């Protein structure tokens, strides 16, 4: 049996668009939890949400895809991702 590497990567995700933070933030938190990602929201406004995520890169990719589709009351125009220094285990 092979040993799996469980290291997690950290990224900052900045979401721009017509965003309803009161519904989108809980949506983000629920989906991050479903994917097993750590997340922390650092900025919210009607046109921008900034958060940090930590977890396997494939799951962070899935989170981006989910956010781009988002709940019905938001319109996501762009998502920017920036790797953060350091790896978590």
Tens-digit pLDDT string for the chain (89 aa): 333 445 579 999 999 999 987 889 999 999 999 999 999 999 999 999 999 999 999 999 999 999 999 888 899 999 999 999 865 54
Q: How far apart are CA 88 and CA 10, in angstroms?
A: 8
Q: At what angle do helices 57-69 and 21-35 cross, to 10 degrees?
A: 150
Distance CA 79, CA 50 (A): 10
86: left (phi over 0), alpha (psi -120 to 50) or beta: left
Q: What is the pTM of this model?
A: 0.84
CATH class of 8-88: alpha beta
Domain boundaries, the chain: 8-88
Contact 88, 10 (CB under 8 A): yes
């Amino acid at each position: 049996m092979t040993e799996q590497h469980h290291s997690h990567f950290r990224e900052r995700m900045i979401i721009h668009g017509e965003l309803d933070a009161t519904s989108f933030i809980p949506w983000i938190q629920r989906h991050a939890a479903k994917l097993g990602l750590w997340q922390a929201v650092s900025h919210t406004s009607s046109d921008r949400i900034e958060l940090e995520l930590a977890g396997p890169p494939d799951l962070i990719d899935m989170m981006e895809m989910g956010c781009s589709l988002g709940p019905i009351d938001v319109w996501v125009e762009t998502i920017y991702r920036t790797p953060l220094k350091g790896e978590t285990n």
